[in-house]
């Protein structure tokens, strides 16, 4: 069987193309394009590639709809055209999920991030690299840190103005915004302006925004630690307080990419901080009251965790159909044995289960489970200095009993 007809041989060439078109392709990429019988890409990519003999197809919407046609042609000489580096916020991940890597070869071009760093003389490894293309805008918020340099792929021509408005709202209006349009081609344009003075118009939809955060009062930045100040959360009193929240997150022992169920989420503070620990972490906030569920959404957006999933419903009935978690935090409903039983049953083996209790009834429930299953039973208390007449005295907050345990068994791999 020849290489051309052998499906196990590299039959699909994934080619990164820039705004400089076919002239910027390396010889190997030009050769693959010339030999292809079928080429698929965005309309812009196909135009940039110039003329060739192959049959063409423009990416449909959604892009996944093209997979049957690509897989039907398995073993033919196919080319897929993509922007820059296809494995950096590109189509590479989608294709590799369906095509073995030995059947595909990738020939990337410089990514927009690399081109932007080169134009601005920024060290790429020192920049926060984000994409707002098809993603929640608020994901940029955790990157707003002192002296940060941020490179951000835009959704469209309106994205730079939205970033400028966000910076002004957060007291960071002196920060510099660089708008880099159509990088690497003849239409390339680079403009810079302070967020406070942002007035750029006619911005090409194909743009990248570079942000230089300038000095500002420290209180204008959200800390990167666990245990954020309670004042950062909108709440009605149903809030896991800062010190207890930090201890709870520590007990949950997050691993990168883990899914958390925050049961009886209240203001959503535990789930939100879980998501802020790593951009690939996942969290489901389960809350019975509609007004609290809406409040969780507002808190998540304001603190840069818009990817939170909110389930409005009463536990344990609300657990039905949810993906199995690697960690569960129960902050509300800890005296309900059925809720605790069903939550623990849903937890993946090897996962962490953390329950906080403030009532004697809930504490008795946790004591019984600690005696039966093991784990750790901890009393957490916080005492703060408060005004007492003309002096200060210590005021003890309501203590919290915390039971934490690792579920026996090994997680599926």
Cis peptide before 125 (omega within 30 of 0): no
Give the pLDDT score at 413: 54
Mean pLDDT of 8-21: 92
Residue-level pLDDT at 242:
94
What is the Cα gyration radius of the chain? 26
In a domain, 1, yes or no: no
Average pLDDT over residues 176-191: 96
Q: Give the mean pLDDT of 159-173.
A: 97
Same domain, 78 and 23: yes
Whether 5 is in a domain gets the answer: no
- The CB-side HSE value for 291 (13 A sphere, CA atoms) comes to 5
User: What is the C-alpha to C-alpha distance for residues 117 and 130, in angstroms, rounded to an integer?
Assistant: 13
In a domain, 6, yes or no: no
Nearest to 192 by CA among 113, 114, 119: 119
Say if residue 269 is in the same domain as residue 313. Answer: yes
> Euclidean distance between the first and final Cα of the chain, in Å?
36
Which among 68, 103, 104 is positioned nearest to 87, based on CA atoms? Answer: 104
- Per-residue pLDDT of 131-157, as tens digits, reads 999 899 999 999 999 999 999 999 999
**Contacting residues for 65 by C-beta, under 8 A, at least 6 apart:** none
The answer to whether 328 touches 274, Cβ cutoff 8 Å, is no
Chain centre distance of CA 66: 26
126 domain residue, yes or no: yes
In this predicted structure, the answer to whether residue 40 has a pLDDT above a threshold of 50 is yes
Confidence at 2, pLDDT banded by 50, 70, 90 = very low
Same domain, 298 and 198: no
Domain extent for 343 = 230-406
What one-character DSSP code corresponds to residue 288?
A: S
pLDDT at 316 over 70: yes
Tally of domains in the chain: 3
128: helix, strand or coil: strand
3-state secondary structure of 309: strand
**pLDDT greater than 50 at residue 396:** yes
User: Tell me, what's the pLDDT at 7?
Assistant: 53
Q: Residue 157 sits in a domain of what CATH number?
A: 3.30.950.10
Q: How confident is the model at residue 412 (pLDDT cuts 50, 70, 90)?
A: low
The pLDDT of 206-221, averaged and rounded, is: 92
The answer, yes or no, to whether residue 377 has pLDDT greater than 80, is yes
The b-or-e profile of 122-146 (16+ CB within 10 A means b, else e) is beeeebbbbbbeeeebbbbbbbbee
**Cβ 229 vs Cβ 221: under 8 Å:** no
331-350: average pLDDT:
93
Position 8 confidence tier, pLDDT thresholds 50, 70, 90: low
Of 109, 137, 170, which one is at a domain's C-terminal end? 109
The answer to the question of residue 319 being in a domain is yes
Could you tell me what percent of the chain has a pLDDT over 70? Answer: 97
Report the CATH number that the domain containing residue 331 is assigned in CATH.
3.40.50.150
- The pLDDT, as a whole number, for residue 218 is 87
Name the pLDDT band for 289 (thresholds 50, 70, 90): very high
Nearest-5° Cα angle at 222, 217 to 225: 120
Per residue in 51-95, pLDDT (tens digit) is: 888 999 999 999 999 999 999 999 999 999 999 999 999 999 999
pLDDT at 336: 92
- Among residues 37, 36, 19, which one has the least CA distance to residue 28? 36
The alpha carbon of residue 291 and the mean position of all alpha carbons in its chain are separated, in whole angstroms, by 25
pLDDT of residue 333: 79
The SS3 of residue 321 is coil
258 and 168 within one domain: no
Q: What is the pTM of this model?
A: 0.89
pLDDT at 6 (0 to 100): 55
pLDDT of residue 4: 44
Using alpha carbons only, what angle is made at residue 131 by residues 125 and 132, rounded to the nearest 5 degrees? 150
Q: Which helix (H) or strand (E) holds 130?
A: strand 128-131
The pLDDT score that the predictor gives to residue 1 is 36
Read off the pLDDT of each residue in 110-128 and give the average, rounded to a whole number.
97
Asked whether residue 338 is assigned to any structural domain, the reply reads yes
| DSSP code string of 164-224 | HHHHHHTT-TTSEEEEEESTTSTT-EEEEEEGGG----S--SSEEEEEE-----GGGS--S
Tally of CA atoms within 13 A in the half-sphere of 326 that contains its CB: 15
Tell whether 252 is covered by a domain.
yes
103, 118: one domain:
no
Mean pLDDT of 364-390: 94
Query: Based on the domain organization, do 92 and 192 belong to the same domain?
Result: no
220, 248, 270 - which closes a domain: 220
Residue 189 has pLDDT above 90, yes or no: yes
Could you tell me what percent of the chain has a pLDDT over 90?
90
- Domain identity same for 248 and 395: yes
Mean pLDDT of 208-226: 92
Mean pLDDT of 307-334: 95
Q: Say if residue 124 is in the same domain as residue 47.
A: no
Helix (H) or strand (E) holding 364: helix 360-373
Q: Do residues 397 and 300 share a domain?
A: yes
316, 289: one domain: yes
């Amino acid at each position: 069987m020849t290489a051309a007809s052998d499906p196990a041989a590299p039959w699909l060439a994934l080619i990164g193309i820039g705004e400089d078109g076919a002239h910027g392709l390396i010889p190997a990429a030009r050769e693959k394009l010339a030999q292809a019988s079928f080429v698929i890409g965005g309309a812009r990519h196909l135009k940039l590639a110039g003329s060739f003999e192959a049959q063409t197809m423009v990416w449909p919407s959604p892009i996944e709809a093209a997979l049957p046609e690509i897989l039907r042609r398995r073993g033919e000489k196919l080319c897929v055209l993509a922007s820059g580096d296809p494995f950096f916020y590109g189509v590479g991940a989608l294709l590799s999920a369906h095509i073995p890597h030995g059947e595909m070869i990738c020939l990337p071009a410089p990514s927009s991030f690399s081109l932007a760093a080169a134009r601005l003389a920024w060290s790429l490894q020192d920049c926060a690299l984000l994409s707002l293309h098809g993603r929640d805008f608020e994901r940029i918020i955790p990157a707003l840190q002192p002296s940060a340099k941020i490179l951000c792929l835009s959704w469209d021509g309106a994205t730079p103005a939205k970033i400028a408005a966000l910076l002004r709202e957060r007291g960071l209006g002196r920060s510099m915004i660089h708008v880099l349009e159509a990088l690497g081609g003849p239409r390339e344009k680079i403009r810079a302006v302070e967020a406070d003075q942002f007035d750029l118009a006619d911005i090409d939809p194909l743009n990248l925004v570079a942000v230089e955060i300038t000095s500002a009062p420290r209180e204008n930045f959200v800390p990167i630690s666990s245990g954020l100040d309670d004042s950062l959360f909108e709440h009605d009193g149903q809030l896991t307080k800062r010190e207890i929240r930090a201890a709870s997150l520590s007990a949950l022992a997050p691993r990168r990419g883990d899914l958390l169920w925050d049961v009886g989420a209240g203001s959503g503070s535990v789930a939100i901080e879980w998501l802020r620990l790593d951009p690939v972490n996942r969290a489901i906030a389960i809350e019975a009251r509609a007004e609290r569920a809406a409040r969780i959404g507002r808190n998540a957006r304001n603190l840069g965790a818009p990817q939170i999933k909110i389930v409005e419903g009463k536990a344990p009935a609300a657990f039905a159909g949810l993906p199995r978690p690697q960690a569960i935090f129960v902050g509300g409903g800890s005296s309900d044995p059925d809720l605790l039983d069903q939550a623990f049953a849903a937890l993946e083996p090897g996962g962490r289960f953390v329950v906080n209790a403030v009532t004697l009834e809930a504490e008795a429930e946790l004591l019984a489970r600690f005696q039966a299953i093991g784990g750790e039973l901890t009393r957490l208390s916080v005492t703060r200095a408060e005004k007492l007449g003309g002096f200060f005295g210590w005021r003890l907050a309501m203590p919290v009993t915390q039971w934490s345990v690792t579920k026996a068994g090994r997680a599926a791999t």
